[in-house]
C-alpha cells in the first residue's frame, strides 16, 4: 500500500471479498433484510403509480420527496452492510430515520406549523423523532439503538478496524464480515429490517387518503387503518430470534481481558 493505487486496490479487494462472502449465517441475515427492503420499496412504487405528484398539496409533495430519499438511503445502508461498513450503514440509517420522522411530523401536524418551519429552514429535524414516535412508537426505539450502539460507539465496538497480535498491528480498512461471531451484524441487520418496515408503514400511512394501502395496512370502516400481516413481520421475528440466540451464546467478559482490537478474533 505504498502508492495511492495500491491502497485503492487493497480497499476494493476487501469490499469485493465481503460482497462475495458466503456463509449460511450471513445469507440468512441478508435474505431477511432484503424482504423488508423489498416490501418498503414496493409500497412506495405502488403509491407513486397511483398518484400524480403535480396534483399533490405542497405538504404531501414534500413528504413524498423526503420518503423517496429515505428509500434510497435504506438501500445505501443495505449495500454498506454487505460491503462490511457496518457503522456507515448505521449512521446512514440513523439520518434516514430522522428524515422519515420529519415526514411523519409534517403529515401528523394538523396545524401545518411544522411544515411552515421546515420550509423556512427553522425546524430542527432531529427533534422530529419525538412527535413522530407518537404515531409510530418503534421510531424512538430504533433511534435509540442506532445512536447508542453504532453512531456513538460503545467501548466494546471500538476495535473493529484494528488488530494487535503481539508486535504486529493490522489496520482493517474494510472490516471482514464474520467478526464478533456475527452478533454485531445481526443486531444492526435486525434494526435495519425494522426501520425499513417502519418506513413502508409510514409511506402507506402518509398517502392513505389518496391511495389504498396494499402491503402494511388495510382500510376498514370510516377509513381507519389496521395493520395486516406481511412478509417483513415474519422476517423480523426470525431475525429477532437469531439475535436472542447469539446473545445467549456469546457471554463477553466484563471488563474484557484484552484491549479492544487485540487478538485476531476480537
The answer to whether residue 175 scores a pLDDT higher than 90 is: no
Separation CA 5–CA 101 (nearest Å): 41
The count of other CB atoms within 10 Å of the CB of residue 57 is 10
Q: What is the tens place of the pLDDT at every residue in 205-233?
A: 999 999 999 999 999 887 789 999 999 99
Separation CA 242–CA 221 (nearest Å): 38
Separation CA 176–CA 9 (nearest Å): 16
The count of other CB atoms within 10 Å of the CB of residue 87 is 18
Enter the C-alpha cell of residue 121: 429552514
3-state secondary structure at position 110: coil
Q: What is the tens place of the pLDDT at every residue in 86-106?
A: 999 999 999 999 999 999 999
3-state secondary structure at position 175: coil
Burial class (CB in 10 A: 0-12, 13-18, 19+), 127: middle
Structure pTM? 0.91
pLDDT at position 163 is: 78
pLDDT at position 263 is: 54
Amino acid at each position: 500500500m505504498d502508492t495511492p493505487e495500491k491502497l485503492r486496490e487493497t480497499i476494493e479487494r476487501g469490499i469485493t471479498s465481503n460482497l462475495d462472502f458466503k456463509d449460511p449465517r450471513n445469507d440468512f441475515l441478508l435474505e431477511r433484510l432484503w424482504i423488508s427492503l423489498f416490501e418498503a420499496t414496493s409500497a412506495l412504487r405502488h403509491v407513486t403509480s397511483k398518484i400524480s405528484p403535480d396534483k399533490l398539496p405542497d405538504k404531501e409533495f414534500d413528504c413524498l420527496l423526503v420518503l423517496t430519499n429515505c428509500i434510497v438511503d435504506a438501500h445505501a445502508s443495505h449495500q454498506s452492510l454487505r460491503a462490511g461498513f457496518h457503522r456507515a450503514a448505521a449512521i446512514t440509517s440513523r439520518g434516514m430515520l430522522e428524515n422519515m420522522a420529519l415526514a411523519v411530523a409534517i403529515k401528523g401536524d394538523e396545524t401545518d406549523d411544522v411544515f411552515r418551519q421546515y420550509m423556512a429552514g427553522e425546524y430542527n429535524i432531529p427533534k422530529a423523532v419525538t412527535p413522530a414516535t407518537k404515531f409510530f412508537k418503534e421510531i424512538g426505539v430504533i433511534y435509540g439503538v442506532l445512536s447508542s450502539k453504532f453512531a456513538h460507539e460503545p467501548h466494546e465496538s471500538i476495535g473493529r478496524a484494528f488488530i494487535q497480535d503481539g508486535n504486529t498491528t493490522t489496520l482493517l480498512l474494510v472490516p471482514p464480515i464474520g467478526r464478533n461471531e456475527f452478533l454485531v451484524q445481526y443486531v444492526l441487520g435486525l434494526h435495519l429490517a425494522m426501520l425499513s418496515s417502519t418506513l413502508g408503514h409510514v409511506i402507506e400511512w402518509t398517502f392513505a387518503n389518496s391511495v389504498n394501502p396494499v402491503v402494511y395496512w388495510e382500510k376498514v370502516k370510516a377509513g381507519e387503518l389496521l395493520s395486516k400481516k406481511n412478509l417483513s413481520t415474519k422476517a423480523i421475528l426470525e431475525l429477532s430470534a437469531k439475535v436472542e440466540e447469539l446473545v445467549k451464546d456469546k457471554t463477553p467478559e466484563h471488563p474484557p481481558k484484552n484491549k479492544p482490537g487485540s487478538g485476531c478474533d476480537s
